[in-house]
Amino acid sequence: MTGRLALVTGANRGIGFEVARQLIEREWSVWVTARDPAKAEAAAEKLGRSALPLALDVTDSQSIENAFCEVSAGSETIHIAFNIAGVVFGRGSLTGNAPLADVDLQGFDDVWSTNTRGMFSSMKEEIPVMLGNEAWGRYGLKGVIINNASVSAHGVFPGIGPYSVSKHGVLGLTRGAALDYGKDGLRIVLISPGGVDTPMRRASIEAQGRDPDENPAPNVQHRTNTSEEMADVVMYLASPNAPSSIHGTDIDVTMGMLTGPFAPPAA
């Protein structure tokens, strides 16, 4: 274990896994978390010795308490947290697009408790730990929290209202925490991806009977973003040398989806 510690929620696949990989490449030790302990173990095994597997279900207060007790016992601190554990549809479903009146309450609650309350609960544990750190970056930086939002934090797509609500909540949580703790040496920011080639996106598209490679994200280049591109941005934001002026803001990594209208691909 190195002296620099990071924690990544939802690190067993997709963007979370790639962020953990790039942090380890930069000689960080990383708590690799997943709801399923076996998936956390498998991801850590792929990532190597600097990956520390950790069972963490962000919807379960006891699981969160147990996980952070283990973190405190094993590493004493966290310098960086990347919070990305999330779902699009409730109860583990890969599909579920529906107009609002057809969404069942249990499904709505599952999306909210994972994406928004889960992030709130994670931050409640991460912030006090980071406040106890010695400064390790520019302008007294003690800790960095990077939350994962979405293009859906800024606009709404039909049929996934609960997901959009949850991601708007992530935006508010992050901005509020940034105002609360920026003066105390914490950098708190978020990124908003839009259409990233992850196992979850592929599985969802395939479950709808479509080919992920034939359904690129609706962005300027008409291609699906990669997890590597998202992780590159996270690495910049997590750097001890990143400008302290990048704080409380949302980084648009949608490849133009939030910028304005663009022409459809040529026929």
Give residue-wise pLDDT tens across range 115-129.
999 999 999 999 999
Region 135-146: what's the mean pLDDT? 96
Pick from 106, 255, 127, 249: nearest CA to 185: 127
Q: What is the pLDDT of residue 123?
A: 98
What is the extent of the structural domain holding 54?
5-253
Helical spans, DSSP H, in the chain: 14-25, 37-47, 61-74, 105-112, 118-131, 161-181, 199-207, 227-238
How long a stretch of residues is the chain? 267
* Distance of alpha carbon 13 from alpha carbon 100, whole angstroms: 29
Q: Is residue 262 part of a domain?
A: no
Pick from 224, 235, 256: nearest CA to 23: 235
Q: Is residue 265 part of a domain?
A: no
Q: What is the pLDDT of residue 74?
A: 73
Q: Is residue 90 part of a domain?
A: yes
Q: What is the pLDDT of residue 199?
A: 81
Say if residue 263's pLDDT is above 70: no
Q: Is residue 266 part of a domain?
A: no
* Distance of alpha carbon 164 from alpha carbon 170, whole angstroms: 10
Say if residue 207's pLDDT is above 50: yes
Pick from 160, 115, 155: nearest CA to 254: 155
Region 246-250: what's the mean pLDDT? 96
Place of tokens 């379960």: 60
Say if residue 1's pLDDT is above 50: no
Number of domains in the chain: 1
Place of tokens 């709505």: 108
3-class SS at 118?
A: helix
- Extract long-range pairs of 169-174: CB within 8 Å, 24+ residues apart: 169/112, 169/115, 169/116, 170/115, 170/116, 170/119, 171/250, 173/116, 173/119, 173/120, 173/123, 173/147, 174/145, 174/147, 174/149, 174/248, 174/250
Reported confidence tier of residue 100, pLDDT bands at 50, 70, 90? confident
Query: To 5 degrees, how large is the angle CA 6–CA 230–CA 263?
Result: 165
Reported confidence tier of residue 215, pLDDT bands at 50, 70, 90? confident
Token representation of residue 24: 């380890």
Region 83-96: what's the mean pLDDT? 80
Who wins on pLDDT, 55 or 218? 55
Region 52-73: what's the mean pLDDT? 95
Region 231-253: what's the mean pLDDT? 96
Residues 6+ apart with CB under 8 A from 169: 112, 115, 116
Residue 160 sits at φ, ψ, to 5 deg, of -130, 45
Structure confidence by residue, pLDDT tens digits, 143-184 = 999 999 999 999 888 888 899 999 999 999 999 999 999 999
Q: Is residue 89 part of a domain?
A: yes
* Distance of alpha carbon 76 from alpha carbon 208, whole angstroms: 45
CB atoms within 10 A of CB 182: 14
Reported confidence tier of residue 26, pLDDT bands at 50, 70, 90? very high
Residues 6+ apart with CB under 8 A from 62: none
Summary mean pLDDT of the chain: 91
Who wins on pLDDT, 50 or 103? 50
Residues 6+ apart with CB under 8 A from 258: 151, 154, 155, 192, 194, 252
Say which CATH number the domain at 139 has. 3.40.50.720
